[in-house]
Amino acid sequence: MKRRTFIAASATILSGCSSTRNKQESEPDRQTDTNTQTSTPRKEILEVKRGDDITHTFNDILQVRDFGWTDRELNFGTPGAAGVVKNLSRNRLAKAALAVDFYDEETQIGSNTSWFDFLETGEYGTLEVPYTEDDPNRVTRIQVSTSVQESPILSVNNGQVTVNDNEISETEHGWPTVTGTIVNNTNDRLERVMIHVNFYHGQELLAQSRDSASRLGPEERAEWSAPTNRADPDEITRYSTVTTIRK
């Protein structure tokens, strides 16, 4: 395993996460939405015709730039919608999501949502929303809306867990991965401890990953590893972590 030295920061995680009501795929970075409370979607909905893109700020919080349909294959192996999302608010967003409905003229033929976890003020990244239905050539337009959540549903670590030995290296496949150990400092069993990792080039969020430990008893230790196949190791200048806890 190749080891490299990076700047590490504790507290804060492009690709982004994605969920679809129609089809699911399993990938190293793929995540289910267990970290944040369900938030009410913002009412502002924008329509984008195929071949066009938009730059727009939703509710003075999320800026969406050059967002529209793309025929190129996205990280999930299908075409879809993509563009840059930036946090313009003064607060870290536990979840910053884009919901996209795909249309063939007046008929909705697909729907999907992708999001970033723990997007800090001023941070940005390319968010991809894949179209997972048959025949992407049918898509003539999309509708875009946003939702945000400032507070995660799970408690953020406040000393209950010690996160040790953060280290970034490359897997045998050449993927960057962050590894380390966690220790339960409480007198209680922790049902789940999750480590979220963000990979950056400056303020640009390149990829996100996470790992977890379950049913961690008092003073027990666990190893964790959070790889990503969605960032060039040579582009990563820093990474950061957020640890959440379910008792």
For the segment 32-54, what is each residue's pLDDT rounded down to a tens digit? Answer: 444 555 444 446 899 999 999 99
Beta partners for residue 239, in sequence order: 8, 199
Residue 1's contacts (CB-CB under 8 Å, 6 or more residues apart) are: 169, 170, 171, 172
45/100 Cα distance (integer angstroms) = 10
Which comes out higher in pLDDT, residue 123 or 13?
A: 123
CA angle 207/29/20 to nearest 5° reads 105
Q: Give the bridge partners for 54, in sequence order.
A: 67
Q: Convert the pLDDT of each residue in 173-200 to its tens digit.
A: 889 999 999 999 999 999 999 999 999 9
Q: How many Cα atoms occupy the beta-carbon half-sphere of 121 within 13 Å? A: 4
pLDDT per residue over 109-164, tens digit each? 999 999 999 999 999 999 999 999 999 999 999 999 999 999 888 899 999 999 98
Residue 23 has pLDDT above 50, yes or no: no
pLDDT at position 151: 87
pLDDT at 17: 62
End-to-end CA distance of the chain: 34
Q: What's the average model confidence in pLDDT over 221-243?
A: 93
Mean pLDDT of 50-72: 96
pTM score, two decimals?
0.80
Q: Residue 44 and residue 105: Cα distance in Å, rounded?
A: 20
More confidently predicted of 240 and 42: 240
Mean pLDDT value across the chain: 85
Residue 241: other Cβ atoms inside 10 A: 23
> Side chain identity at 137, as an amino acid letter?
N
Structural domains for the chain = 2-9+154-246 (2.60.40.3230), 14-149 (2.60.40)
Q: For residue 110, what are the β-bridge partners? A: 102
Judged by average pLDDT, the poorest of 20-29, 75-84, 175-184 is 20-29
Judge whether residue 6 has pLDDT over 60.
Answer: no
Q: Please give the pLDDT value at position 18.
A: 58
Number of helices followed by number of strands (H, E) in the chain? 0, 18
pLDDT of 63 > 80? The answer is yes
Contact 128, 82 (CB under 8 A): yes
